[in-house]
Amino acid sequence: MARMALAAQRRLTEAASDDPFLTAKITTARFYADQILPRTSGLAAIVTAGADSVMALPVDGF
C-alpha cells in the first residue's frame, strides 16, 4: 500500500492534477497505516501465545 500511495502521489505531482482516484489511493493507504497496521502487534501476540490451548484439543474436537 505504501508503494501504491507513493506512485499515486508521484502521478498527482507530475500531472499537477487532482485526480479523485489517485487521491483516494493515498487516503486509503493513510487509513490502513493509521487504523489497521497498529493492530498487528497485538494480534501477533494473541496468535502466538494462544497455541497451547488450541493444541490441547484432540483433532476430532475441532
The answer to whether residue 57 is domain-embedded is no
pTM passes above 0.85: no
The answer to whether residue 14 is domain-embedded is yes
- Reduced to 3 states (helix: H, G, I; strand: E, B; else coil), residue 61 is helix
Domains of the chain: total: 1
The answer to whether residue 55 is domain-embedded is no
**Residue 52: how many other CB atoms lie within 10 Å:** 7
Domain that holds residue 12: 2-50
The answer to whether residue 60 is domain-embedded is no
15-60 pLDDT per residue, tens: 888 899 999 999 999 999 999 999 998 888 887 787 777 778 888 8
Give the span between the Cα atoms of 34 and 36, in whole angstroms. 6
